Chain A
Amino acid sequence: DIVMTQSPLSLSVTPGEPASISCRSSQSLLHSNGYNYLDWYLQKPGQSPQLLIYLASHRASGVPDRFSGSGSGTDFTLKISRVEAEDVGVYYCMQGLQTPPAFGPGTKVDIK
């Protein structure tokens, strides 16, 4: 099975400042079709997870452009250009390349 790790596991950010979360997979997520099967989700307090980024760098519908995803192979990054209060919650990366899809442990983001 592919194992996902994230760092840091918690992050406290000042509103308006940037934030970055790293995700690493135990095997390459690069498919022969050229796509990296890595997604990012945000679970706001008391809510179900919501899709932010799919295929490593594609923003999901309705996601603000302050969120961006990058990386390839085994190393990926989610960046928030300017954190807003509504961005608090737990961020998960997930690999969708092979069964079973696996989520990272999550990164808890709060506001200073």
Chain B
Amino acid sequence: QLQLQESGPGLVKPSETLSLTCAVSGGSISRSSYYWGWIRQPPGKGLEWIGSISYSESTYYNPSLKSRVTISVDASQNQFSLKVTSVTAADTAVYYCARVNGHLGPFDYWGRGTQVTVSS
């Protein structure tokens, strides 16, 4: 059974960089038919797609975040990562990683999510 697990700091200061990692187990991140994505959910709000990456590092980003977001993959560690620069309180959210069965969807396996709060 495929499992995904997010990890990273739960608290980030304004203007700094948010960094998260998603560890994949129970399957290889290198399967060419899948992408790997990040989605976030601000407190009490809906879901926002951040971006997706393939094992060959082909990326798609949400234009609303593109200037601040980098997604990378480390196939040797079977994990992928998210960086968001110059964070503000608006970046406070639960961040989910997910497997993308295609390149834009559907998201068929999800991690449990990790809370990231931006505050000084």
Would you call A98 and B107 a contact (CB within 8 A)? no
Chain B residue nearest in CB terms to A40: B106
Would you call B104 and A37 a contact (CB within 8 A)? yes
Interface status of A97 (Cβ within 8 A of chain B): yes
Would you call A102 and B104 a contact (CB within 8 A)? no
Would you call B105 and A96 a contact (CB within 8 A)? yes
Q: How many A-B residue pairs have CB under 8 A?
A: 61
Please give, as numbers and ranges, the residues of chain A lying within 8 Å of B101 by CB-CB distance: 54
Chain B residue nearest in CB terms to A103: B47
Complex CA–CA separation, A51 to B49 (angstroms): 15
Interface status of B68 (Cβ within 8 A of chain A): no
Q: Which of B107, B110, B111 has the most CB of A within 10 A?
A: B107
Among the listed B46, B60, B64, which residue makes an inter-chain contact with A103, where contact means beta carbons less than 8 Å apart? B46
Interface residues of A in 28-43 (CB under 8 A from B): 37, 39, 41
If over half of A's interface residues share one DSSP class (helix, strand or loop), that class is named, otherwise mixed; here it is loop
Interface status of A15 (Cβ within 8 A of chain B): no
Interface status of A27 (Cβ within 8 A of chain B): no
Would you call B60 and A99 a contact (CB within 8 A)? yes
Would you call B46 and A48 a contact (CB within 8 A)? no
Would you call B47 and A49 a contact (CB within 8 A)? yes
Interface status of B63 (Cβ within 8 A of chain A): yes
Interface status of B96 (Cβ within 8 A of chain A): yes
Nearest chain B CB to A11's CB is how many angstroms away?
16
Among the listed B60, B63, B64, B106, which residue makes an inter-chain contact with A51, where contact means beta carbons less than 8 Å apart? B106
